[in-house]
Structure 1
Amino acid sequence: MSRRLCVIGVGLIGGSAARRARGLFGEIIGVDADSDNLEQAEALGVIDRGCDHPEQGAETADFVLIATPVGAIEPLFRGLQPVWRSDCVYTDVGSTKGNVIEAARRVFGKVPGNFIPGHPIAGAERSGVEAADSGLFEGKRVILTPLPDSAPEALARVEEFWTYLGAKVEQMEAGRHDEVLAATSHLPHVLAFTLARMLGRKDEQAEIFRYAAGGFRDFTRIASSDPRMWLDICRANREPLLQLLGEYETALREVAALIRSDDAGRLYACFSEARSAREKFLQLTENNHA
């Protein structure tokens, strides 16, 4: 059993990790900018005690999980730098990895060998410690993006941590991670936010929403996610996301042209191709969970 876990950012991801990791650590310390959320985390038993400042929580820990928005990572590193210890393992949960690695280089001069960048592919539209779920990571993928000089023992401990939480751990190069997540997560969120905003600004929005069915609910579900978090993600992963938005714009124009010209055959082929792609995705997902 490790001695002490420090979770910086006790929201959905950090709180869920703390709940499930209870058997791995003798004590769990929580750090959060929201004092009310921190008090609630302690009242719910998610953490044993809370701290106002990251350096207070991290200085005596032997495992630090950084679960803040990616936009906060550089000032957080600067705050942790004076208490950063070689006998402690550090990892994060950010949805982008290139900016996290660059932030570490700017603060420390290089990425410390005992910092292993990571990203659990799990989440929900809810936020805050009330949403914490000990089963959130069960069967989910966690992508680690270690660097060539990452310490093997630190990597092993981070893998052990996520495996204990029920996740399937994989490794990927950081740039490739950001490209993949831009396509599979960041772009869909931008599209959902955009559609919900567009319809919400119409004068007849009450009527539109009254008659919206499952399709609208399913497509826009992720637009209930935390806007602050997604602002940071879009800024951090700007270039891959802009590339995909350009491709999506082209694809929309193609479909619009088919509808405008009443080209039933090509429009049907377009929808059929999309359905086949979706079925392949579902089959792959089922096989991965088998």
Structure 2
Amino acid sequence: MRLALIGVGLIGGSFAGALRAAHKVDHIVGFDSRQEAVKRAVDLGIVDQFVAAPEQAVDRAELVVIATPVGATRQIFRAIAPHLLQTAIVTDVGSAKSSVIAAARDELGPAFERFVPGHPIAGREHSGVEHSSPAMFANAMFVSTPVEQTSAAAAHYVEELWRSVGCRIERMTPEDHDDVFAAVSHLPHLLAFALLAQIAGELDAERKFAMAGSGFRDFTRIGGSSPALWTDICLANPRALAAELGGYRALLDKLQSALESGDTDTMKAVFQRAAVASRTHARA
């Protein structure tokens, strides 16, 4: 199989490497807007060659994997659509699905039925193809979000590829996906960034950071992730993330009111609900 990898970073590089290790691909052509990234991927043996434009990457490709930031997908779809094989299957790895599907519907034309939207639930703190690993998806989840127009055969093909690299498959609607990951991924990152930014802007920031212990480090670890990447993800899922943020803000207001009034029962009830959830779900 000839694979076009558009976006040669952590996830794209890991998937390409995993497919190669599983003997699912014969030739991988890479494109990335950062030429140093795709050259590094060639040096690492992740891709066989690199090209200067996405439309060149998809030439004769049977599978096209789009692993760019979500905000770039519309431009990519527009560029590749006229150059796809009539049988080529296109898929993505984006962390928000509704906006990507809307862009694909607008730009891919007849190839839209062969577009299989998906999201592997895997990653690392450090981005970049140099941190990629073929083993990244072992025992991970791949969320497949086909729509009514998606070819059943194309969806099955993509899901089997992810299964072959170690993933278990979960199907969701795009809307359900965006609601769930707004709560368990996008909002936590936003909050970690916000807390770090708030403290960093205070006059005694250095002293506070110097005194911070393991609890603070645990809470804010993901605040060291790529600001560009997470700006892109948050803005790609505005409806669901804004709803989750609104609910969180309402609970913070409730806790602030309890704090100011000395309302032990309310504060303890919120903490108790959280503790039960942590024991039951978060550490499962």
- Shorter-chain TM-score: which interval? over 0.9
Alpha-carbon distance in 2 for matches of 1:111, 1:221: 40
Alignment partner of 1:41 is 2:41? yes
- Specify the SS of the correspondent of 1:143: strand
The residue aligned with 2:132 is 132
Equivalent of 1:18 in 16, 25, 40: 16
The residue aligned with 2:237 is 237
Alignment partner of 1:106 is 2:106? yes
Structure 2 matches for 1:71-220, cutoff 5 A?
71-109=71-109, 112-220=112-220
Alpha-carbon distance in 1 for matches of 2:85, 2:278: 47
Percentage of matched positions with identical amino acids: 40
Deviations 1:179-232 (A, max 9, x none): 111111111111011001111111222211111111111111111222122112
Alpha-carbon distance in 2 for matches of 1:273, 1:184: 17
Gaps of 5+ in 1: 286-290
- Specify the SS of the correspondent of 1:7: strand
Q: Compute the displacement of 1:107 (Å).
A: 1.4
**Residues 66, 92 of structure 2: 8 Å contact kept:** yes
Give the paired residue count.
282
- Specify the SS of the correspondent of 1:68: coil
The residue aligned with 1:288 is none
Q: Compute the displacement of 1:24 (Å).
A: 0.9
**Residues 255, 267 of structure 1: 8 Å contact kept:** yes
**Residues 104, 110 of structure 1: 8 Å contact kept:** no
Q: Compute the displacement of 1:158 (Å).
A: 0.2
Alpha-carbon distance in 1 for matches of 2:269, 2:238: 32
Alpha-carbon distance in 2 for matches of 1:108, 1:129: 27
Gaps of 5+ in 2: none
The residue aligned with 2:272 is 272
Amino acid at match of 1:142: F
The list of structure 1 runs, each at least 4 consecutive aligned residues, that deviate by more than 3 angstroms after superposition, is: 108-111
Alpha-carbon distance in 1 for matches of 2:282, 2:240: 25
Amino acid at match of 2:88: C
TM-score normalised per structure 2: 0.95
RMSD in angstroms over aligned alpha carbons?
A: 1.4
Equivalent of 2:5 in 4, 7, 12: 7
Q: Residues 107 and 182 of structure 1: is their aligned pair in 2 closer, same or farther, counting only changes over 3 Å?
A: same
**Residues 101, 111 of structure 1: 8 Å contact kept:** no
Alpha-carbon distance in 1 for matches of 2:165, 2:11: 12
Alpha-carbon distance in 1 for matches of 2:146, 2:56: 26
Q: Compute the displacement of 1:110 (Å).
A: 6.6
TM-score normalised per structure 1: 0.93
Q: Compute the displacement of 1:239 (Å).
A: 1.4
Alpha-carbon distance in 2 for matches of 1:94, 1:182: 13
Deviations 1:239-278 (A, max 9, x none): 1111111111110011112222222333222211111011
- Specify the SS of the correspondent of 2:26: strand
